[in-house]
Structure 1
Amino acid sequence: MKRIAEEKIIKWANSARRKPLIIRGARQVGKTWLVENCLAKQFDRYVKINLESQPHYHGAFSGELSPEVMLNVIEASAGRIIPGKTLLFIDEIQSCPRAITALRYFYEQMPELHVVAAGSMLEFAFGEISVPVGRVQYLHLQPMTFYEFLLAIGKEVMAEKLLEPPCGHPAEIVTAIHEQLRNYFFVGGMPEAVAAYRESGSLLEAYEVHSEIITSYREDFAKYRPSVDYTCLDTVFATAAKTVGQQILYTRLYEHATGKTNHKAFDLLCKAKLMQRVASANPSGLPLGADGGKRFKAAMLDIGIMQHLCGIPPSAAVGKENLLSVYNGQLAEQFVAQELLAWHGENLHYWSRTARSANAEVDYLAVRDGRIYPVEVKSGPSGRLKSLHLCLKTYPNCEQGWVLRDGPYEELPEQKLIFWPLYSTPHLGNRQHYPMILDSGTA
């Protein structure tokens, strides 16, 4: 497989301003694979320690946090580590929060050593320590994008088309890409599920992988701190999947728990990167979210995981002429959410207005070149896009609205609208922000 984060991680390795790198993301999105199959090949020697399955390495970080002392302990079991020639990979670093603190000392006292750390549920560990702000870099890894999915299944030419301006795509190309997108809706972007589909050609094989991944996530629930009742966490997890695209009310996530308890469960699942909070925002100016909108929706980590939690079998795709009709369009909205996160940043926003006369909502707000664009995930004639037209009328700074649909590119300048094929998400933000976000600073 190929991940578009490979370019970023190689650039990190060759940078003169390199700092220890922490790869963040949910379990099983491919963090360890990226290090072992891409980065490790750039070095004479590769040393990996896993702080979850090899707890004896915790001792390296229990005493003095000087690189020499820590490496002496690690080398006793793992072998020689030579700065400049060896890649040191600390996997499942959340299992030993003090190891996260130790990264600052590798940066300050042994900057020539390449140190990479990875872990899931890192936000829980960050709450227990002083995070080395400004002394580490972060790579945020999401599930495989549709582009990466196409590369994985041998559709390289089609993948290249995704990065071209869609305005030049003939109807035959649009139809062919949307046919593959139908498969991605049910396979999703979890690397193991993609591999199972690539090897078997069966959506059912990917469906079985989703079941295994969800089971592993549920096994992790007991590790969440502060703890919440398992049944509450599990129910909120499943309910949020079934309500993608709808405003979240805590009291409705699990009827046998209080709104406060459901709130806590929702926040913990967001911390674990299993879901994403999509906050309402005023599109009158940047940065989005500065007004602290109280209404919000949820997006799941992965569309394949979502459809499994919703109980949607792969057979549901058969006979559906319009992708947006599958599960009332919620799969399409989920697809756009995870693509926007992977290509353009870590936060998602939408526009919502509550009024006595009528409520209005636009699915997402995109930012490109300093301008805000309201985005609807729909098909059909422009006259039915009442909320989008209202948003454009209410906020003159939003000069144009975008509609993602199961159809070709089309411009309607008289209505200030552009219709994009559903797969066009790489073009809906600042191109300089992808393939992934690599930054220094706060956690």
Structure 2
Amino acid sequence: MERFIFEKLIEWKNSPYRKPLILKGVRQVGKTWILKEFGKRYYENTAYFNFDEHEEYKEFFETTKDVARLIQNLSMASGQKILPEKTFIVFDEVQDCPNVINSMKYFYENAPEYHIACAGSLLGIALAKPSSFPVGKVNFMQINPMSFSEFLLANGDENLMNFLKSVEDITPIPAAFYNPLCEKLKMYYITGGMPESVLMWTEARDVEAMQNALSDIIGAYERDFGKHPDVTEFPKISMIWKSIPSQLAKENKKFIYKVVKEGARAREYENALQWLADARLVHKVFRNKAPRLPIAAYDDISAFKIYLVDVGILRRLSQLSPTAFGEGNRLFTEFKGALSENYVLQALTTQFEIEPRYWSQSNPPYEVDFIIQRENDIFPIEVKSELNTQSRSLKKYQEIFGDEVKLRIRFSLDNLKIDGDVLNIPLFMADYTDKLIGLALEGRK
């Protein structure tokens, strides 16, 4: 299955400023396959080292920091050929190997001729720990679940994906493309973007196997909760995880600790929640008080919403049956549109450097689902999962912040159009939000 991250990896390989690469991503998102496939496509050979499978390799990094000796020891022990520039070196499952991670500093400083990448399932947790780390000596790259565009490619719908890429103006999408794209998006809500789940559907068309794949992935995540160094945090992490569908089913999706457990307090559960965020299993979206720069300066860190890493994981964790596919627009409207919001957030986080926020006020109650920073402008976003696209909150936001709002954005089942300063983006075009905002702004000059 083709992954768009290959384009970024090629840029990394060819960059004169290339540093050792750390590839981050949740378990079973495809990190190992991507690195092996990249090595197969763009190098003479790949030298692959799995530090979970071969723990004895860790000893090499405990006794020396000399890169030449490390390369010699690894090559002799594994029987793999390692040549400067020609070999892609992959260190996998390094999350429990601080010496391996720290060695990246010496690869960068003393042996830049070696092309090397590290990956690990809970690397976000490991990197959050206060330990020796090669600050400024590595490049980071994040691999996310497959996007809807990648899903289309995997499903054999290259024509639909190419059409979406070809859109260069804000005009309605013809029905010949619009209708099948809506149907494919419903299928994506069911499978999500985890490669194994997508594979079970796109190649085998096996719904039961797809369901089992998602269950197995969720089970693997839940077993990882036990890897928290404080055993008392395990049940708290598990309760937060299982509460997320209930949190998102509320009209007001602000995270409420008492939904996790009656009487729960923030200070009792905030470490467990942070573990999930560091592991990138959840997205933590803070409330923002005003659309001004720097955006983080206006965060209300006491109020936030929690979404899952993948819309398919959310659908499976919520125990919503795949039969919902045939029930009109139910997938778009279920859980107060939570699946649509989760899907849109996934698309936004891959396109914009700054994490999205949301905006709300309590009296009277208004809430804009997300606000994003694009260059030096901030845009409000609402996600409408039904055909009724009237938005009191977007209107109120514009009334309050006036000239600061260059464009308001609404995702819905309506067609692509611009109405005054409101850009309506069909849900299936979320992967092209950045491009469409640019086209809309250009057209309004």
**TM-score, normalized by the shorter chain, greater than 0.5:** yes
- AA in 1 matched with 2:270: H
1:6 paired residue number? 6
Contact 1:274 1:300 in 2 (8 A): yes
The residue matched to 1:182 in structure 2 has which SS? helix
Q: Secondary structure at the match of 1:290?
A: helix
What do the CA deviations read for 1:97-143 (whole angstroms, capped 9, x no partner)?
A: 11111101000000000011111211322214222121100111100
Structure 2: where are the runs of 5+ without partners?
438-445
The aligned counterpart of 1:137 is 139
Match of 1:395 in 2: 401
How far 1:262 moved relative to its partner?
1.9
Are the aligned partners of 1:348 and 1:365 in contact in 2 as well (CA < 8 Å)? Answer: yes
Matched, 1:361 2:371: no
Once the two structures are superposed, what CA deviation does each residue of 1:17-40 show, in whole Å capped at 9, x if it has no partner? 110000001111111111111233
The residue number in structure 2 matching 1:439 is: none
Taking the aligned partners of 2:436 and 2:226, their CA distance within structure 1 comes to: 39
Q: 1:41 — aligned with what?
A: 41
Compared with structure 1, are the counterparts of its residues 223 and 53 closer, same or farther at alpha carbon in structure 2 (3 Å cutoff)?
same
Counterpart for residue 282 of structure 1: 289
1:425 to 414, 424, 430: 430
- Quote the residue 1:376 is aligned against: 382
1:351 alignment partner, SS class: strand
| Correspondence for 2:175 | 171
Aligned match of 1:81: 82
Q: What is the Cα deviation at residue 385 of structure 1? A: 0.8
Aligned mate of 1:291, from 298, 313, 338: 298
1:196 is the counterpart of 2:204: no
User: 1:344 and 2:352 equivalent?
Assistant: yes
Between 157-166 and 63-72, report the one with greater CA deviation: 157-166
Contact 2:257 2:266 in 1 (8 A): yes
Which secondary structure state, in structure 1, belongs to the residue aligned with residue 335 of structure 2? helix
Deviation at 1:255, TM superposition (A): 3.1
Q: Is the 8 A contact 1:299 1:338 kept in 2?
A: no
In 1, Cα distance between equivalents of 2:47 and 2:243: 42
Q: Does 1:54 align with 2:54?
A: yes
Equivalent residue of 1:411, what SS?
strand
Partner of 1:98: 99
Does the Cα contact within 8 Å between 2:24 and 2:124 map onto a contact in 1?
no
User: How far off is 1:157 after superposition?
Assistant: 0.8
Alignment map for 1:137-286 (pairs within 5 Å): 137-165=139-167, 167-244=171-248, 246-255=253-262, 258-286=265-293
Distance in structure 1 (CA, Å) of the matches to 2:406 and 2:86: 52
Answer whether contact 2:147 2:431 (CA < 8 A) is retained.
no
- Distance in 2, Cα, partners of 1:338 & 1:173: 23
Aligned to 2:442: none
Q: Distance in 1 between matches of 2:276 and 2:197?
A: 21
- Structure 1 position 64 matched with structure 2 position 70: no
Task: Say whether the 8 Å CA contact 2:415–2:425 is kept in structure 1.
Answer: yes
Higher relative contact order (CA 8 A, sep 6+): 1
Deviating more after overlay: 310-319 vs 201-210:
201-210
Percent identity of equivalent pairs: 29
CA contact (8 A) 2:91 2:117 kept: yes
Output the CA distance in 1 between the equivalents of 2:436 and 2:12: 19
- Opposite residue 83 of structure 2, the aligned amino acid is I
Q: How many residues align?
A: 428
Further displaced range: 37-46 or 80-89: 37-46
Partner of 2:440: none
Contact 2:39 2:45 in 1 (8 A): no
